[in-house]
Amino acid sequence: MSYVDEVLEGLAERDPYEPEFYEAVRECLDAVRPLVDENEAVYRENAILERFVEPDRVISFKVPWIDRNGKVQLNRGWRVQFNDAAGAYKGGIRFHSTVNLSVMKYLGFEMVLRNALTGLPMGGAKGGADFDPKGKTDREVMAFCQSFTNELYKYVGSNMDIPTSDIGCGSREIGYIYGQYKRLTGSSEGSFTGKRPDFGGTELRVESTGYGLAYMAEEMCRAKGLPFAGRTVVVSGSGSVAINAARKCAEDGAKVVAMSDSDGYIYAPAGIDLRIVKEIKEVNHGRIREYADRVEGVEYTKGRGIWRVPCEIALPCATQNEIGPEAAEALVKNGVILVAEGANMPSTPEAAAYLKEHGVMYMPAKAANAGGITVSGLEQVQNAGHCAWTCEEVDARLRGIIHDIFVRIDTAAAEYGRKGDYAAGASIYAFRKVAAAMIAQGIV
């Protein structure tokens, strides 16, 4: 049995109730098999794989808070500090009802790889709680965030672990968390990112994940000698990532023809007016079907099925596993040339394999979704230097780092005989970098 298979078998036996985590590890280790085989002796000697798939620590705690009716509520909170070989722990805080330990470990593991790709000195971590801010008042959200911070603050700091925003935890929640952190520690160091620019945050943080996704799609086109301008794009979702990816695609000359939400999707052959989408979703908090009521020539379809819309570029930005085998077949049939992931694991392993087998350029989330953590890392740099950069400065750095990520991935894939396999290249580059750091720092 190979070293990779030994570790995967052991992980499945030890953590049988953590499917999300196991799937992320399996995908990574399968991709790095050639690298592991090449360096098996030194990796075995240092137990690299066993240590790589085990978090440095998992912190679990209760979060009691009082709702608007004076009733005590209780949630569970976590912080998974996965690996700090490449730098201080770095990763988001997610507030959502689906949060559990398996999800936290999977996301923390992915952050180790994603952060390594950026070239910034960042390790990987993830945290959150099974708390859903939707439908809660500002006072309720503040009460929860302050209680959450009462435990979290013991384990984070600007040179140890720097949490940032994620699903359900935006600038409002980070503001409450940061305020309570300062109250408890008496320190205003840059221990959290995702803050508003008026108290230490960075410009472009909200837009960064979507912008980075669009920039990665442009890099993929450029590598094939294909123009990006004029391409037809389908973007699933209509949240921040989707809207900003669509915005940057449109600004750079592509045509976005479909977007969605959990109810259904719109198809606008002439192109979507993002000003209307932003008004519906961000101002009125409405549903995407309202777009079809306001704009002539637009079709609204209830339910899933957005990937049946013909396109050349597909940017899944909605949910996990939204592109399965059937959707992948529809994309290929309709002439898609590239898929770049804006959500976490939106393509099933079978769908990703089908896309690659049929010559579709496929960029996994750990690379295509790296814009957000990149700008979060740049916020750290600004905080450490007590300075603030303009939107233009941050955007230029983001474009440059996304370009560098693509080059690293492309080079690593080619080096191991898998030219054009960006999923393999991403895992190979990131794993090799972190493994080298682990070896250099000894058995710790």
Positions annotated as catalytic residues are 126
Cα 76 to Cα 131: distance, rounded to the nearest angstrom: 8
Give the DSSP H or E segment for 328: helix 325-333
| 3-state secondary structure at position 256 | strand
Which residue do the tokens 């930005």 mark? Answer: 317
* CA distances for 247 relative to 70, 271, 298, angstroms: 43, 11, 18
Give the DSSP H or E segment for 351: helix 349-357
- Best CA proximity match to 54, nearest among 77, 95, 25: 25
Contact in structure between 412 and 405 (CB atoms under 8 Å): no
**Please, where are the H alpha helices in 186-288?**
208-223, 240-251, 274-278
Contact in structure between 118 and 377 (CB atoms under 8 Å): yes
Here the tokens at position 137 are 């008042």
Here the tokens at position 12 are 């499945």
Secondary structure, 3-state, 415-433: HCCCCCCHHHHHHHHHHHH
Cα 343 to Cα 191: distance, rounded to the nearest angstrom: 25
Q: Which residues contact 304 (CB under 8 A, 6 or more apart)?
A: 265, 322
Cα 338 to Cα 220: distance, rounded to the nearest angstrom: 8
> φ and ψ at 441, to 5 degrees?
-95, 0
Eight-state DSSP code of residue 137: -
Which residue do the tokens 């280790």 mark? Answer: 29
Cα 213 to Cα 228: distance, rounded to the nearest angstrom: 13
Contact in structure between 364 and 352 (CB atoms under 8 Å): yes
- Best CA proximity match to 3, nearest among 51, 45, 49, 42: 49
Tell me the one-letter amino acid at 148: F
Strands 89-95 and 161-164, bridge-based pairing: parallel
Here the tokens at position 19 are 């499917």
Cα 221 to Cα 241: distance, rounded to the nearest angstrom: 20
Here the tokens at position 93 are 């805080």
Tell me the one-letter amino acid at 59: I
